[in-house]
Structure 1
Amino acid sequence: MKIWVDRLVRSGVLERGVLFEADDRGTVVAESTSDGCPPDVLALDAAAPGFANAHSHAFHRALRGRTHESGSFWTWRELMYRAAGRLTPDGYRTFATAVFSEMVAAGWTTVGEFHYVHHAPDGTAYADHAMEIALADAAAAAGIRLVLLDTVYLAGGIGRRLAPEQVRFGDANAAAWLDRWHALRDALADRSPLVTLGAALHSVRAVPRDALGAVAAGLPASVPLHIHLSEQPAENDDCVAAHGLTPTGLLEAEGVLSPRLSVVHATHLTDDDIRLLGAAKVTAVFCPTTEADLGDGIGPAVELRAAGAHLAVGSDQNAVVDPLLELRGLEAGERLRSLRRGRIEPSTLWRIGSDAGYASLGLPAPARMGGPLDLVELDDRSIRTAGGELEQLPLTATASDVVRVVVGGRLVVHDEHAIAEDLRRSIDTLFEEAR
């Protein structure tokens, strides 16, 4: 498989006439430059390495356009639980295929799916990892690279049992989750070259203190580990009251902080939290459209980066599926927080959206030797982008400017009208089951 790119923006730097060659698994095995496109090779005009959605809950897509209300994250969460309670393996396979297809059409070439809807609503385990296999099948059908972040969810809050609506998320204890994780890894082996297995701790609310370190120690060192962190002030208050430590301080005390850890949201941090996260070289995954939608607040991205942390972005609840709007939202949030412009350079935004997101998911950088041949072609002459510099597209373009998407060296083509119909049908079915 060979692909030629006339204008390639890689790490924010414009390169001309780049010819890639990939092997059968979609890994870049050769790269050169050419003044023109060789015959019988797919040619892209203006392109960039693929975007990594480092944090997604696919089923939250069902809530889009149905949850506008006054309230908070906590009131929104009750509606989310209702949607989670209605998922079945077969229904989720169909729905997630449409959601992942929407992501590819928007320019996401990789997704980290933070997955905790493991079991039947009464907590009974499905045979053969049915929910997880449904997501793997959906990703393969959509043509997106998936890192399935199988998630530990053991408590309904600090010191509280799982509520009835949370029972299907849980396992008996950390050891039981680890057993299931290792069995799932075997079940996914060689299923699709697009699918790999990662892990997640849901939060310090949902994972008891003694389980935090046990899970981290029980996983292979190469496996990426993610966690929701300090999304809400109430989470911080409860953690300090129970443990005398902030959530970040608790992770540090239990030996969880490390370069393989990604902390999602990281919105309400102390100066000491920022110092600890930076020293550990974690990745902070910001989800600006979700954090705005839920009224979560704006996290200290610039301070984290200055302290040594890496940054990535995700779509989280999928109220918006657009990598360029997430990147622009990251910069916009910093401008609103600081009352200053130019907080994150466009070249850095490109790296945050691509290389850093892939790294947070345990993947090599795309469109580089030894990495996956994942590319997004963008229109820099559209009504939104005309007249601007190609290198500054993260500040002007949207998913509407995505022309073509390549995952693993293969062009992924979807009919957006068909995706929309599949989404509508799946969501209507999901909510009809509630009546």
Structure 2
Amino acid sequence: MQVSYWLEHAWLGGNVEPGVLVEVRDGRIGAVVKNLPSPPPGAQSLRGLTLPGLANTHSHAFHRALRGTVQVGSGTFWTWREIMYQVAAKLTPDTYFALARAVYAEMALAGITCVGEFHYLHHQPDGRPYDDPNAMGEALIAAAAEAGIRITLLDTAYLAAGFGEKPNRHQLRFSDGTSDAWAERAAQLKETDHARIGAAIHSVRAVPQAHLSTVADWARTRHAPLHVHLSEQTAENDACRTAHDRTPTRLLADHGVLGPRTTAVHATHLTDADIALLGDSGTGTCMCPTTERDLADGIGPAAALQKAGSPLSLGSDSHAVIDLFEEARAMELDERLRTRRRGHWTAAALLRAATADGHASLGWQQAGAIEPGALADLTTITLRSVRTAGPLPRLAAETAVFAATNADVSHTIVGGRVIVRDGTHQQIPDVPTALADSIAAVRT
């Protein structure tokens, strides 16, 4: 397939450039031509600011069914988790496919072209495997294909309820029993053009220390991404110190988990030594500000982590909202609240977290930039909405980060193919109904 797009404004190499022609050949960018004031014959026009496709580095698709319903009353992460377990218990491969298909379509509408799905709903509710042991994971891969986006399925090891505790009744479907059994099942998953397979350690409380290296080695031998929930809650840190006399970060380091292909998710409650371990090892950090504030987790040391050498990416996690622009500005604005000082990241740095560094975290190093050879994944936002109208075009990146929302996405293109046109999903025209129906199936 060959197609060309004329971008009214394009974010290239950290700068906004006017009048850019992008030629696409077989799903990749073949050429980028600057300084074209009007569309050449045959080129499709994308009015507004076009960015590389956005990467949602951390997702639990089924959490989308909790939106709104968990805002009644007070509580903590731990009380929220009990409600989450109720939804998890009702999912089947068919209902999970329908829900994930709708959720990934919502992501496409928000300009997201690739998602990292942190997947631990492996088995039937009583822990018995399905006839196809990867039926749930395959449902997610198929859902992403129908929604038109790329996916990195981060198949997650989840073996314990806590330090020295067997899985509880809610967690039986998460567990393979041992890390070797997890590795054997995960190895059966196959990559496709739109899907890559990675690994995840749910957390140090859910994977005993004797099993950490098995998961790390599985990812290392496959050159696959490895993600891990890290220090999201102070209770996890306290329990880890009691069990192992060290922090979760130190425990991961001691078992070979950290490194450039690893991404720590949340990393909210870290010591200075933890930050140094992550930075010195090149371990990435995925911040999920809308979830972290929704669950009252706290504000993570994102600025300190980046300064130490940890690349930052962004995720919508529990999908309190699905909006990478909100995640990007929330990281900056939360840091302003914490320090009472402005300007910790430029708009370009925040967009890099939402694009190139997010894709790298998910193993899609050839995405996240508008340049020859890159995957032709593009996201266009309008500069004429009530939120984005007014600023000079040269400030379009700042407008995108600090004013735009998911509602300002007009076009989403994956592999050169238009998935969202003028705000409408081309394969799933009525995404709200798809969401409502698939959520009702697991909430009633």
- TM class by smaller structure: over 0.9
Which residue in 1 is equivalent to 2:106? 102
| 2:89 is the alignment partner of 1:85 | yes
**RMSD of the TM alignment (CA)?**
1.4
| 2:390 is the alignment partner of 1:387 | yes
Q: What is the one-letter code of the residue matched to 1:196?
A: R
2:57 to 54, 57, 72: 54
8 Å Cα contact 2:17-2:34 kept in structure 1: no
Displacement of 1:322 in angstroms is 0.6
2:187 to 182, 186, 206: 182
1:172 to 177, 190, 203: 177
| 2:385 is the alignment partner of 1:378 | no
Q: How many residue pairs are counted as aligned between the two chains?
A: 426
Which residue in 1 is equivalent to 2:443? 431
SS at match of 2:160: coil
8 Å Cα contact 2:61-2:103 kept in structure 1: yes
Displacement of 1:122 in angstroms is 1.0
Which residue in 2 is equivalent to 1:15? 17
Displacement of 1:278 in angstroms is 0.5
Displacement of 1:274 in angstroms is 0.5
Which residue in 2 is equivalent to 1:235? 236
Displacement of 1:3 in angstroms is 2.1
Q: What is the one-letter code of the residue matched to 2:411?
A: R
Deviates more, 1:231-240 or 1:26-35: 26-35
Distance in 2, matches of 1:55 and 1:368, equals 25
Distance in 2, matches of 1:11 and 1:341, equals 24
- What do residues 202-256 of structure 1 show as CA deviations (whole Å, max 9, x unaligned)? 0001011011112111232520000000000000000111111100000111111
Distance 1:212 1:247, change over 3 A: same
Displacement of 1:39 in angstroms is 1.8
- What do residues 112-162 of structure 1 show as CA deviations (whole Å, max 9, x unaligned)? 000000111111111232111111111000011111111011111111000
SS at match of 2:232: coil
Displacement of 1:201 in angstroms is 0.6
8 Å Cα contact 2:154-2:197 kept in structure 1: yes
8 Å Cα contact 1:11-1:351 kept in structure 2: no
Distance in 2, matches of 1:163 and 1:280, equals 34
Distance in 1, matches of 2:12 and 2:241, equals 43
Distance in 1, matches of 2:320 and 2:13, equals 28
Q: What is the one-letter code of the residue matched to 2:117?
A: E
Which residue in 2 is equivalent to 1:4? 6
1:127 to 131, 149, 156: 131
| 2:70 is the alignment partner of 1:67 | yes
Which residue in 2 is equivalent to 1:196? 196
What is the TM-score with the length of structure 2 in the denominator?
0.93
Q: What is the one-letter code of the residue matched to 1:203?
A: S
8 Å Cα contact 1:229-1:265 kept in structure 2: yes
Displacement of 1:380 in angstroms is 1.6
| 2:415 is the alignment partner of 1:408 | yes
Q: What is the one-letter code of the residue matched to 1:145?
A: R
Distance in 2, matches of 1:152 and 1:368, equals 36
Displacement of 1:417 in angstroms is 7.1
Distance in 2, matches of 1:104 and 1:305, equals 28
SS at match of 1:85: helix
Distance in 2, matches of 1:363 and 1:329, equals 25
What is the TM-score with the length of structure 1 in the denominator?
0.95
Q: What is the one-letter code of the residue matched to 2:430?
A: A
Which residue in 2 is equivalent to 1:160? 165
Deviating above 3 A after TM superposition, structure 1's stretches of 4 or more consecutive aligned residues are 414-417
Displacement of 1:30 in angstroms is 2.9
Which residue in 1 is equivalent to 2:208? 208
8 Å Cα contact 2:24-2:30 kept in structure 1: yes
- What do residues 347-376 of structure 1 show as CA deviations (whole Å, max 9, x unaligned)? 101111111100110112333333211111
Distance in 2, matches of 1:175 and 1:130, equals 19
Which residue in 1 is equivalent to 2:310? 309
Q: What is the one-letter code of the residue matched to 2:145?
A: A
Distance in 1, matches of 2:63 and 2:44, equals 36
Displacement of 1:297 in angstroms is 0.2
Distance 1:145 1:189, change over 3 A: closer
Displacement of 1:91 in angstroms is 0.8
Displacement of 1:189 in angstroms is 3.7
Distance in 2, matches of 1:84 and 1:11, equals 42
8 Å Cα contact 1:10-1:350 kept in structure 2: no
